Amino acid sequence: MNIAILSRDTKLYSTMRLKEAGEKRGHRVEIIDHMKCVLFIEKKNPMVLYQGRKLDYFDAVIPRIGASVTFYGAAVVRQFEMMKVFSAVESQALIRSRDKLRSLQILSRAGLGLPKTIFMDYTKDTEGIIEAVGGAPVVIKLLEGTQGLGVVLAENKKAAQSVIEAFHGVHARIIVQEFIKESKGSDIRAFVVNGEVVGAMMRQARDDEFRSNLHRGGTAKVVKLNRTEKATAIAAAKKMGLSVAGVDMLPSKRGPLIIEVNSSPGLEGIEGATKVDIAGKIIQYLEQNAMKKKIQKDKINA
């Protein structure tokens, strides 16, 4: 197979591991900077141009699209889909996953566990908001935040009101969530590929930090999920339309509570903690599905 990894940085661990895993299984793998792609749109003849050449020979693409370039990155993925190229992450699922509010609404409708969450349009009733999620402490998140950025723990009501008012003052969209005390600064990342949990780790925040993200100094160790946690992760990825996903959950007295479903989960932390070849699992998923797409494409062109 000819595989394109859509990534802006060839030296990122995830990008390098996917390339390595693909080549190890005998595939031709190229790293393509999606922000340098040009989309040629014509009736029944969509095309992606890159550095003066047509990218019309790929059988599959693996999107590694950063949150800040979701709009254009998703457009590139969609163009490949129009060319009948199989994508490890569908363009619509990518867009859906990047909208935190929409994601929470989808997961809520599916009956999956979530922390109590409030979204509002710059309301002045900050006290009512805080009480609605169980009172302080509360977690306040920017809708556009990633990797723990734009996430604040307000320890008391006064601090929470000040943070909410400050965000509203600069017209920032936020959500307010209950603080799950029993999680004790830890969360679970379940890595799902093709409807199966292929690895899971527990991330633990530093003593002076409540965010468990590895980018913020958290640590990770392998964890065995119970039946409910595994079922929740699989269901969350499915409801979001993601065949490759990192599902983040908080352990709680009510069971696992989903805090995010990531469409471009990093591989370094999960592979380091579990010692599982996650990149290889993704390549195997492409092998199982891209060839079906190629056969369909060949029939159309015949």
**Confidence band of 71 (pLDDT split at 50, 70, 90):** very high
CATH number at residue 156: 3.30.1490.20
pLDDT at 212 over 70: no
- Alpha carbon distance 4, 63 (integer Å): 8
The answer, yes or no, to whether residue 225 has pLDDT greater than 90, is yes
Q: Which residues contact 296 (CB under 8 A, 6 or more apart)?
A: 84
**In a domain? residue 283:** no
CATH of the domain at 196: 3.30.470.20
pTM: 0.89
Residue 252 lies in a domain: yes
Kindly state whether residue 274 falls inside one of the protein's structural domains.
no
- Specify the higher pLDDT residue, 32 or 293: 32
Residues 134 and 167 in one domain: yes
User: Does the residue 15 lie in any domain?
Assistant: yes
Assigned domain for 217 exists = yes
How far apart CA 119 and CA 117 sit, in angstroms, is 7
Higher per-residue pLDDT: 82 or 121: 82
Query: Does residue 28 contact residue 3 with C-beta atoms inside 8 Å?
Result: yes
Are residues 18 and 53 both part of a single domain? yes
Is residue 216 pLDDT above 60, yes or no? no
Res 142: pLDDT? 87
Same domain, 186 and 251: yes
The mean pLDDT value of the chain amounts to 91
Q: Which range of residues forms the domain containing residue 136?
A: 117-179
Tokens matching residue 296: 């369909």
Same structural domain, 246 and 217? yes
- Is residue 203 domain-shared with residue 257, that is, in the same domain? yes
Q: pLDDT value at position 215?
A: 53
**9 and 41 share a domain?**
yes
CATH number at residue 11: 3.40.50.20
d(CA 82, CA 253): 45
Q: What is the pLDDT of residues 152-171, one digit of tens each?
A: 889 999 999 999 989 888 88
Q: Residues 72-83: pLDDT tens digits? A: 999 999 999 999
Instruction: Report the distance separating Cα 140 and Cα 174, nearest Å.
Output: 7
**Domain identity same for 134 and 83:** no
SS3 87: strand
At 202, which amino acid appears?
M
Predicted local confidence at residue 204, as pLDDT: 85
172 and 187 belong to one structural domain? no
Residue 117: C-alpha distances to residues 124, 130, 174 (Å) = 17, 10, 10
If asked whether residues 219 and 243 sit together in one domain, one would say yes
Overall number of domains in the chain: 3
DSSP state of 188: E
Phi/psi of residue 95, nearest 5 degrees = -60, -45
The answer as to whether 216 is a domain residue is yes
Let me know whether 149 and 127 are in one domain. yes
